[in-house]
Structure 1
Amino acid sequence: MSNAELAPDLVSRRSLLLGGLAAAGGAAALATTTVAQDMPGHDMSGMPVEPAATSTSPYAAPPAHGGAHGDMMTVGTVDHGANGFDPSTMLTEWETGTLSTMEDGRTLRTFTVEAIDKEIEIAPGVMFPAWTYNGRVPGPALRAKEGERLRIVFSNFGSHPHSMHFHGIHSARMDGVPGAGLINPGEEFVYEFDAKPFGCHLYHCHALPLKRHMHKGMYGAFIIDPDPALHPEFAEVAASRLLGTPENALWQEMVMVMNAFDTNFDNENEFYAVNTIAHAYAKTPIRIVKSRPVRIYLVNVTEFDPINSFHLHANFFDYFDTGTNLAPTLRTVDLIMQCQAQRGILEFSFRDHEAGSYMFHPHQSEFTELGWMGMFDVVEG
C-alpha cells in the first residue's frame, strides 16, 4: 500500500510534521535566551570572541556565522500543573520514603506507590492515556541506602493488573511477575527486600503484554546509594553519592529517564523525551553552576526502538555502567548507548568552560527532532 493510501491516523512518525520543526538535519541549535548568554536564531555574535590567530583559550567562542539552523521544536507550552508534575523539578525530586527502626536495629525504609490511570500532556496539545505510578511519568525516583530493608506498599487503582518489578537483588516472590506480586485492580501488595546492590537501577510493571505496560508509562528510577562504611577503599567516592552527606551536597545531581510515546498505537514512536515532555529542557534549560561537578542518573525505558543514547556537546564525561562500581567503566567519553532497562551514572564538569548554553541529546537524529533534546545553561558561581 502506498503512503497516499494510508489513512490520516496511520501516518508514520517519519512523516509526522510537528509545528515548528524545520528539517535542518542532525542535531538542532536552540534559539532561546538563557541567563548565561543570548543566542537568538543561533546568532552567536553576542558572545565574546577571540580572533583565531590570537586566541589562547580552547574554550573561546567561535566567530559568529549568522544564519539559523532552524528551531526544530514543538510550538506552545505544556500545562505542567494539570499534569501534576514538572520536568524541571522532576530532575531533582527524590522520593526517600519514611524511616523507622526494625527490632534488629536495622533501618526500614517504606515507600507508598499507587497505580493510577491518567491522561497526560506529553507535548503542547498532545494528550496521552497513560498508566502511571503516583500520577506521574516516569514514576517517583525512589532512593535508598545500601543495606537498608525496603518495604514498598503498592496499591492498584488502575483498570488493569499491574506490578512493580525492581532491578535489584530479591527473592522470587518479590519479583513482580505473574504469580509473584502481580495484583489486580483494587488490590494491594507489599514488596519487601534488602537494598542491594548499590547503583542506578529502575523499576517497572511486568504485567503482560509487557511492551504495552512499559510504553504506557509504568516505570521509574530506583537509586541505591553506596554505604561508605562498606567500601573503605572508595569511602570518599561512596560518600559523594550518599544523599544528605556534605560530600554529596557539592554535586549537582539529577535523574533523567529517556522515554518515548506512540500516540497512534502503531508500534512506532511519535515523540521522544527525557522525563516525558518533548523539548522540555530545550525550552527551559537546566541551570548548571560551572564550579560544581554534575552527576546524572540516566535510565533508558524507550519502547519500540532497540537503542537510545546520550551525547554531551563540547564536553566529555566518565560513565559508570549500572552504577554498581565506584570506579568508572568508561573514562572521557561524550556518547553512551543504552538498550531498554540499561542505565548508568554520568559524571562531568564545566569548570574550565566559558559560561553559556551547551546542548545534550541522543545521537539518533530522529529522536532529537521529535522531542529529545535539551540545553545546559552553564553560569558562573
Structure 2
Amino acid sequence: MRRWLPIDFGRRTFLGGGLLTAAAAVVSGRSASGQPAGHDGHGAASAPGEAPPSPHRQAHGAMITVGDVDDVRNGFDPTAMLTDWYTGEVSTLPDGRRLRTFEVYVEDKEIEIAPGVMFPAWTYNGRVPGPALRAVEDEKLRIVFKNYGSHPHTMHFHGIHAARMDGIPGAGQIDPGEEFVYEFDARPFGCHLYHCHALPLARHIHKGMYGLFIIDPDPTRHPDLADVARSRLLGTPENAVWQEMAMVMNAFDTTFDGENEFYAVNTVAHCYAKKPIRVERQRPVRIYLANLTEFDPINSFHLHANFFDYYNQGTTLTPTLKTVDLIVQCQAERGILEFTFADHEPGLYMFHAHQSEFTELGWMGMFDVVEAVS
C-alpha cells in the first residue's frame, strides 16, 4: 500500500484542528478547487480569476476532503453505482421457470478511497462495494464465481438456500484460480446482501468483499399489495416513477490497527458532498441501504429537513417504521428507505451518519433537489 503521509495518524488525530482537510490538500497533488468554508460560515477566499467556492463544498464547515478521486483509475464511479443494477442474463429452464445467471470474480486491486489515499482492496468484479445483484422472487439463480485473487474466498448470500450453497469454508470456498457455481431460488424478496465468509472474516469484509443482493417481489404472489409490489419490480411502469438508489455504508482502516480512518457511502469519502445526488422534486425516492462497516458496532443514516418510511430488511410491503429521519444499522443490517421532496423547495439537502466522527471522516452527502427536466 502506498503511504499517503510519511507518518501514521489515528482517526482522532485527523479530527484535531481539521487535519483531514489539510492533509488531503497537501498530498493530493491536485487542484483544490472548491475549498471548503470555515466554521464561521464564510467561504474561503478565492485566488484572482478563480470561481467562488460551490455551496455544497461549504457544508459541514472545513470538515471535507480537498481534491477529487480518479474514478477512471478506480474503475468505478460512486455516482454511477447508485443506479447500476446487475441483472445478469435471463433464460428459461425446461420446466418454464426463469433462470438468472450472474458472473462474479475476485480481483486484488488498489483503489483510491479519498483524494490521494490508496487502499489495497479485495474486490468483487473490480469494485467496492461489489455489483448490486438484482433478481425477482422465486427465480432460479446461478452465480458463477471465479477467484482471480491471492487468497481463498467465498460468496455468502443472506437469503434462503441449501447448506452446500452457504458460501462458508467447506461449502463454496475456493482457492485462487478455482471456480464454484452457487445455485438457489430467489427468496425471500427484500433488500439483502452478500459478502465473503472466508477466515479471518473481519479482514475479508474490511478489505471490500461485500455487495447488495436485491430480490424484487413478484406482484402475482402478493395480490393484496400488488401495486406496492409492482412499484419495487424493476422494469415496470410503476417502478419507473421511483428514483431508486443503491447505498452501502462502509469504512476503511488505512493503518490496519483495527480503527477506521475513513467512512463513506459507496467507498469514496465525501463523494456525494462534492457531487450531490440529483433528485427530481416531484418523484419519490427509494434507497436500498446496507451497513458493511467493519470495526464499529453500528452505523446510521440521517436525512435533513425530511422524514422517511423504513422497511427493515425489505421483506415487507408495509413500513416497519413510519415517519422517521434517522435509522441505525448494525453490520449486515439493511433496509429500504422511501421519501419524497414534493413539498420542498429546490435546493441542497444533506444526509449523513449521525455519529459526528463518521460524518467528519467522510460519511456525508447532499441531495440536489431540482424541478423535473423536460
Q: Same-fold call, TM > 0.5?
A: yes
Counterpart for residue 376 of structure 1: 367
Does residue 41 of structure 2 align to residue 39 of structure 1? no
**Pairing partner for 1:281 from 265, 268, 272:** 272
Does residue 11 of structure 2 align to residue 13 of structure 1? yes
Counterpart for residue 34 of structure 1: none
Gaps of 5+ in 1: 1-6, 32-37, 43-67
Deviation at 1:39, TM superposition (A): 3.2
Q: Please show how residues 131-280 of structure 1 align to structure 2 within 5 Å.
A: 131-280=122-271
Q: Distance in 2 between matches of 1:292 and 1:187?
A: 45
Counterpart for residue 103 of structure 2: 112
CA spacing shift, 1:343–1:40, aligned 2, 3 Å: closer
Q: Contact 1:226/1:242 (CA < 8 Å) preserved in 2?
A: yes
Deviation at 1:19, TM superposition (A): 2.2
3-state SS of paired residue (1:213): helix
Q: Contact 2:131/2:211 (CA < 8 Å) preserved in 1?
A: yes
Q: Distance in 1 between matches of 2:57 and 2:105?
A: 44
Q: Distance in 2 between matches of 1:30 and 1:140?
A: 38
Q: Percent identity?
A: 75
Matched residue type, 1:113: V
Counterpart for residue 29 of structure 2: none
Q: Contact 1:30/1:282 (CA < 8 Å) preserved in 2?
A: no
Q: Distance in 1 between matches of 2:11 and 2:291?
A: 20
Matched residue type, 2:21: G
Q: Contact 2:191/2:213 (CA < 8 Å) preserved in 1?
A: yes
Q: Distance in 2 between matches of 1:172 and 1:9?
A: 46
Q: Contact 1:256/1:296 (CA < 8 Å) preserved in 2?
A: yes
Q: Distance in 1 between matches of 2:366 and 2:37?
A: 20
Q: Contact 2:120/2:207 (CA < 8 Å) preserved in 1?
A: yes
Counterpart for residue 337 of structure 1: 328
Q: Distance in 2 between matches of 1:29 and 1:370?
A: 21
TM-score using structure 1 length: 0.87
3-state SS of paired residue (2:188): coil
Q: Contact 2:56/2:274 (CA < 8 Å) preserved in 1?
A: no
CA spacing shift, 1:380–1:343, aligned 2, 3 Å: same
Q: Please show how residues 53-64 of structure 1 align to structure 2 within 5 Å.
A: none
Q: Contact 1:163/1:182 (CA < 8 Å) preserved in 2?
A: yes
Deviation at 1:23, TM superposition (A): 12
Counterpart for residue 45 of structure 1: none
Q: Distance in 2 between matches of 1:366 and 1:23?
A: 19
Q: Distance in 1 between matches of 2:84 and 2:139?
A: 20
Matched residue type, 2:164: R
Gaps of 5+ in 2: 24-35, 45-53
TM-score using structure 2 length: 0.88
Deviation at 1:71, TM superposition (A): 2.7
Q: Distance in 2 between matches of 1:239 and 1:14?
A: 46
Deviations 1:259-281 (A, max 9, x none): 00000000000000000000000
Q: Contact 2:220/2:226 (CA < 8 Å) preserved in 1?
A: yes
Deviations 1:186-230 (A, max 9, x none): 000000000000000000000000000000000000000000000
Q: Distance in 1 between matches of 2:151 and 2:55?
A: 47
Counterpart for residue 61 of structure 1: none
Deviations 1:330-363 (A, max 9, x none): 0000000000000000000000000000000000
Q: Distance in 2 between matches of 1:280 and 1:30?
A: 20
**Pairing partner for 2:349 from 358, 366, 369:** 358
Deviations 1:92-122 (A, max 9, x none): 0000000110011000000000000000000
Counterpart for residue 285 of structure 2: 294
Deviation at 1:12, TM superposition (A): 1.6
Does residue 118 of structure 2 align to residue 127 of structure 1? yes
Deviations 1:38-61 (A, max 9, x none): 73885xxxxxxxxxxxxxxxxxxx
3-state SS of paired residue (2:257): coil
Counterpart for residue 52 of structure 1: none
Deviation at 1:20, TM superposition (A): 4.5
Q: Contact 1:202/1:219 (CA < 8 Å) preserved in 2?
A: yes
Matched residue type, 2:181: V
Q: Distance in 2 between matches of 1:41 and 1:340?
A: 30
Q: Contact 1:20/1:73 (CA < 8 Å) preserved in 2?
A: no
Q: Distance in 1 between matches of 2:276 and 2:92?
A: 41
Aligned residues, how many? 342
